[in-house]
Structure 1
């Protein structure tokens, strides 16, 4: 097949996926989804008020133009990358993505550039209040790794737990964050299948 035919087939595939699954999966949670997310995360992970796990993944860009490689390369990766920020729940529902930041950036800069909290800032976010220990919390939260800022809606892991209770929490939090790691693994494997059957046209 020619490169043009491969590209057209891939676009048709994307349109088909969007048609079949877009209304159910490719969207932000609405008010009726939030209690379901809370219930599932509390039942599976033991975290009340958890909306999902937030993380970033570096996506290798094998055909990056030479002039752009410097700003898209970071020392802990072999070549240039683009960054994907995503939130996923335990059933692989990816309901937030922000893609395309250059690989030289870190997760904090990506978060500050994304529009994740725009609805909350603008006051149009769905009601996500919940109760824990008889205290009402206005917004749910996202589990993140230890490099993120201490924001109210981000729950970091503990870097150096110094007692059994904190050690237990660290293990539970890291276990719950497997949701986003599993999601990234699925994306990588899916991309490998697509690229193995489709010649690169970048």
Structure 2
């Protein structure tokens, strides 16, 4: 991991941490999504609070229909975060109800990026699945 000091917008020094996005994507895929994944389905379900096919359905819809979740290249031409990384971080934060920076050690994303992933994930879910799965509570719903 490379740490560099850069000057921010207001001349203050900020830290740039090289997080190796490409390697992290491969590790995430091999741990949870490949044919011979490290973790079995029951652990996936416990970690993500849903089964793998449902997770992949969500990732595929978001990556195809919501611009934020498409993988892009950054300024130097390196691939940015994959839809899988963005959705994984959002679902993990929402599933555990944790602060944004508590999942940095495994998924290696900065706090601002994590917040952006969660915000865009929630907006994307409402946009794509809201009419079918989300509704206003009724008086008959338990409190």
Of structures 1 and 2, the one scoring higher in RCO (CA 8 A, sep 6+) is 1
Superposition TM-score, scaled by structure 1 size? 0.23
**By percentage of residues, which structure has more helix?**
2
Q: Report the TM-score when normalising by structure 2.
A: 0.29
Structure showing the higher strand proportion among its residues? 1
